[in-house]
Chain A
Amino acid sequence: MEERMMGRAEGDTGRAWRWVLASSALPLVLAAALLPAALAQPVLPDTTDADAEAVLENLTDDEISGDPTALLEQLEDLREDPLDVNLAPAADLALVPAFSPVVAEAIVRFREAHGPFGSIPELRAVEGVTEDVFVEARPYLKIGPALERVAAVPSRYPRVPTLSEVRRDARAEVLQRVTRRLDLGEGFASLPDSLTGGPDAPTRYAGSPERIYTRLRASYRRNLSANLTLEKDPGERFAFGGGSVGYDFASFHLAALRVGRVEALVVGDYVAEFGQGLALWRAAGFGKGRESVRPLVKRGRGLRPYGSTDENQFFRGAAATIALTPALYVTALGSRRTLDASFNDVDTTDVEIPVTDATVAGLAADGLHRTPSEIAKKDALGETLFGGGIEVRFERATLGAVGYSARFDSPLAPGGQPYQRFSFAGDQATVASAYASAFLGPFQLFGEAASSGGVLAGIGGAEASLNRLDAVVLARHYPRDFVSLHGYAFGERNGVTQNETGLYLGLGLRPAQRWVVSGYFDQYRFPWVRFLVPRPATGHEALLYAEYQPRRWITLYAQGRTETREASADFGQPTGAVLPGLVPETRQSLRLQGEYEANRALRFRTRLEGSRYRKAASPVQTGVLLFQDVRWQAARALRLDARLTFFDTDGFAARLYQFESDLTGVFANTLLFGRGTRAYAMVTFRPDGRFEGLDLRAKLAETRFEGRRTVGSGLNEVAGPRVRDLSLQLRYRF
């Protein structure tokens, strides 16, 4: 009842809302009018304000898979707690978006050969650290006060901090985030009394429309951390008691990293990244994107504590990597956790066939528990996993092996459709892999081979990192019957390490100062049918990107992309039968973007993008997107972000995406199709002085479609042509 009344109230205030939204861009003019020459003062304290939005846009494909928030958090952590150029290991340095593994390795070798860096700009002496690379990497780097101590006491292992050091330098963080859609779908509507609880009652969500996220974290540098993450998705119940902590999902860990001989020790939730991700990798990874070389050369960081909100892709238990010698590392991991799963019906009425145990029809990966059927799937299947690994690190090479054995409480029995033919079945999975990488001057060779149930899969490549050229060649082969439950290797379907073979070539060029040109070509084949693709299929994709910086404060780029692949189509036969077959479909896009920093406090960004989709003889679909974006650091502590986007596409196939500024740790890659506008405004308040460490953010966004009476489908169908989202976040570090 309450919600229905709200619906009416919203209708009444619709007009008022327009003004609120229109005024989202107003502060720019009004506040400025009231503050004479406010913009003239240099107010931005941080000269190298790395823009997570831009970095991610460089690194990712539009249609990202996996859980990108983990990557976003990683980048944001890196920005807020930069790496010490004299202490960071090569694996950490390779996380910096500008550094390739070759460059990361070169930095470590340089400081081993020449002693610690005296200042950050000295990094430019390292081969591969060009001016551009340096500028891009600068926000993620620092030089620590521990420099002399490190130099004075060379140790074979990372130093163990003393208790007083930990007490002095420990940091804590509290993060509270609430996001809510203001235009609610039918799933949130209340039912009339006559229907409530009845057998014919329509499905409703169990809980409120807010997404509530709480994170508590304490850490000492990058070495020790304790974390508790709690989350409730929209529509999920928030209720205490009965074993519930209120939130639907909770994740906890205690971790020590690089403390003496302990390379990693985690109790609680963790992920494992080894080799190229064939056997073990967190469910997130950069795929094809404008950065066409560096993200593709993976460098496993071993065991990492986990505190993100993907509710299914992590391990729960304990794991450790210990250095037996400075060159030899052994890893052991154990995990026992529950997964969301649906079960096949057990037919107890048939007396001829004995009643069998329940089998699992499928795993649910979205982590949503809103409706009775979703709640029934929650934690329905247990998985026990043991694994281990060994890694030898030579000066210029790394060799390793890793493996695990997983057992499910009930066997998985996917359906009998052809595309399910090679899906994982049974209750036991064992995967073992061996990986290696070697540096030869500016070149790196890397590869991994894995076996699951006797089926071999492999990925291997070579990278060159020269001053004006980065290049990578990468070959992958994942047979149709290869099963990798916890891997996440590179591919067209990034992360689906099965049923794919492909070759990838990526180039990054700096042909002249202020110019960057990059591109890739990828050819792939799926040797077995897939969901909705009734035949083995092939495809290829290419991207070309050119960026020009006529001045330091002006950046222009053009990016073109084309992908052709085989998609399903029905072929009518003279006999009247219909045969499923394949026809090529092509999707292309061209983007032009300009960015202008009027000064340190004011930035304009404009984008025009067109898309085109063609499938066999069907009509061509086209789309266009135009946005204007303004960022204004209105005061030292206050930043405003606003964007107005117009989009117009013939259909879903010509869809377009845009990355957006959002709350820290929120990955906002908005999908737009149809015709309409999207507008958002975000306020960031980060005071210094007495309230240093406080970070408040609020974002209001609206997408409005023209000529539509509803948005969304199913229980999320919203009556009316628009959806609005409000997000609030408070973070405090101390």
Chain B
Amino acid sequence: MPTALLRTLLLCALAAPVARAQLVPLAEGGARALALGRATTALEGDVWGHHNPASWATLPGRAASAFASQAFGLGELRLGAVAVAEPTRFGTVAASARSYGFEDFRETRFGLGFARAFAVSASRRVHAGLRLGYTSVSIPGFGSAGVLGLSLGVMTEVLPGLGFGFHAYNLNRPAFSEFDPLRRGLEVGFAYRPAERALVLLGIDKEVEFPLSFRGGLEVQPVDVLVLRTGFTTEPVRFSAGVGVQTGLLRADVSAERHEWIGWTPAFGVSVQF
């Protein structure tokens, strides 16, 4: 297909009402989350905190990550992002930036977050996190617009080895116009560690404009340096798999997600914890 035609089609499909750009959720939140079927609402130690900002409070130390994905292999749907999290005396502060799209349609988001842990008993902790995201869209010839979204998450270990979390995102209903709201919903998730080197994730996500989506993920660590992951989602049906390699402070993650109809989305990321 000629590139010009493809771009025009994409522009119609994605940019005309901006909301359409979000009909297919972006491949974001880190290669690990994508490989785990995005079921990471109860996942601890995630520098992205995309499916739960409370995760920042569970980071053992300073962390940073960079990540790129290309939805369905289309260059026009390329996404690049960076995130950092810094634990302080009062809690963990996090910041992120991402860019998505191409020259005729560009969506940029800057995020700022805060999370901290609360001791609710001698042995139990509840983590809570908050994220402010500024999303701006720019379409040459039409101009640009920006909105501010507020998201809130809580995460806790209800039993040894069993984590629970929830995440209400874009609580304040950010919208570019009446017809172009940002995705808004509630995620609930569980993380179960049946063995030291295995992790099972389950999640549900209800977005106000979309059917309820079930998610699941499995992570195993056969050897210290290697992590294998797989996951799925429903609504839309996607299957994903990924590999993580870690040495010392550094970790590299690769993932591929297959959408039932549209095809493969590759993603790659590097993270460092120190």
Contacts and interface: CB of A to CB of B under 8 A. Distances in A.
A677 interface: yes
Contacts of B168: 25, 628, 644
B150 interface: yes
Contacts of A630: 154
27 contacts: A21-B171, A26-B152, A29-B129, A29-B130, A32-B116, A33-B116, A39-B126, A40-B120, A554-B158, A596-B158, A598-B120, A599-B121, A599-B124, A604-B156, A606-B188, A626-B186, A628-B166, A628-B168, A644-B186, A646-B186, A646-B206, A646-B207, A646-B208, A648-B208, A648-B212, A676-B208, A677-B184
Nearest to A606: B188
B137 interface: no
A550 interface: yes
A550 B159 contact: yes
B18 interface: no
Contact of B124 (A33, A598, A677): A598
B91 interface: yes
Q: Which of B114, B116, B128, B185 neighbours the largest number of chain A CB atoms within 10 Å of its CB? A: B128
Given A29-B130, A40-B121, A630-B154, 5 more contacts: A28-B128, A37-B119, A38-B118, A606-B166, A626-B204
Contact of A29 (B128, B172, B207): B128
A39 B120 contact: yes
Nearest to B181: A706
Nearest to A40: B119
Contacts of B154: 28, 604, 630
A439 B212 CA distance: 51
A380 interface: no
Contacts of B188: 606, 608, 626, 628
A706 B212 contact: no
Contacts of B91: 33
Interface string B109-153: 000001010111100101011100000000000000000001010
A30 B116 CA distance: 11
A33 B88 CA distance: 13
B211 interface: yes
A18 interface: yes
A22 interface: yes
B164 interface: yes
A554 B159 contact: yes
Interface string B88-103: 0011000000000000
Interface secondary structure of A, over-half rule: strand
Contacts of A38: 118
Contacts of B158: 554, 596
A675 interface: yes
Contact of A648 (B121, B126, B184, B211): B211
A39 B126 CA distance: 9
A628 B186 contact: yes
B209 interface: yes
Nearest to B174: A18
A240 interface: no
Contacts of B164: 594, 596, 604, 606
A29 B150 CA distance: 12
A408 B126 CA distance: 63
A551 B159 contact: yes
B186 A675 contact: no
B185 A646 contact: yes
Contacts of B197: none
Interface in A672-706: 675-677, 706
Contact of A626 (B121, B124, B172, B206): B206
Contact of A608 (B204, B208, B211): B204
8 smallest A-B Cβ distances: which pairs? A22-B172, A22-B171, A599-B120, A646-B206, A598-B120, A626-B206, A39-B118, A18-B172
Interface string A598-626: 11011010101000000000000000101
Interface of B: 90-91, 114, 116, 118-121, 124, 126, 128-130, 150, 152, 154, 156, 158-159, 164, 166, 168, 171-173, 184-186, 188, 204, 206-209, 211-212
Contacts of B119: 37, 39-40
A208 to B, nearest CB: 30
A646 B118 CA distance: 27
B114 to A, nearest CB: 7
Contacts of A531: none
B206 to A, nearest CB: 4
A607 to B, nearest CB: 9
Q: Which of B156, B164, B172, B184 has the most CB of A within 10 A?
A: B172
A675 to B, nearest CB: 7
Interface string A199-225: 000000000000000000000000000
A25 B130 CA distance: 11
A186 to B, nearest CB: 22
B198 to A, nearest CB: 21
Contacts of B209: 675, 706
Contacts of B212: 608, 624, 626, 648
B120 A624 contact: no
Contact of A677 (B90, B118, B208): B208
Residue among B121, B168, B171 with most chain A CB within 10 A? B171
Contact of A33 (B114, B121, B208): B114
A349 B132 CA distance: 74
A129 to B, nearest CB: 30
Contact of B206 (A21, A594, A648): A648
A307 B128 CA distance: 44
A25 B156 contact: no
Contacts of A554: 158-159
B9 to A, nearest CB: 26
A21 B173 CA distance: 10
B200 to A, nearest CB: 17
Nearest to A625: B206
Nearest to B205: A626
B120 A602 contact: yes
A598 B126 contact: yes
Nearest to B184: A677
Interface in A517-544: none
B204 to A, nearest CB: 6
Nearest to A610: B212
Given A37-B119, A596-B164, A628-B188, A32 B208 contact: no
Contacts of B128: 28-29, 32
Contacts of B124: 598-599
A630 B128 CA distance: 12
Nearest to B166: A628
Nearest to B119: A40
Q: Which of A18, A626, A675, A706 has the most CB of B within 10 A?
A: A626
A36 B119 CA distance: 10
Contacts of B129: 29
A561 to B, nearest CB: 19
Contacts of A40: 118-121
A417 to B, nearest CB: 42
B156 A596 contact: yes
Contacts of A598: 120-121, 124, 126, 156
B122 to A, nearest CB: 9
Nearest to B115: A29
Interface string A26-53: 1011101100111110000000000000
A627 to B, nearest CB: 8
Nearest to B116: A33
B172 A624 contact: no
Contacts of A22: 150, 171-173
Nearest to B156: A598
B250 to A, nearest CB: 32
Given A550-B159, A596-B164, A604-B154, A18 B114 contact: no
Contacts of A602: 120, 126
A511 to B, nearest CB: 22
A32 B118 contact: yes
A29 B54 CA distance: 10
Given A39-B126, A40-B120, A628-B166, A29 B152 contact: yes
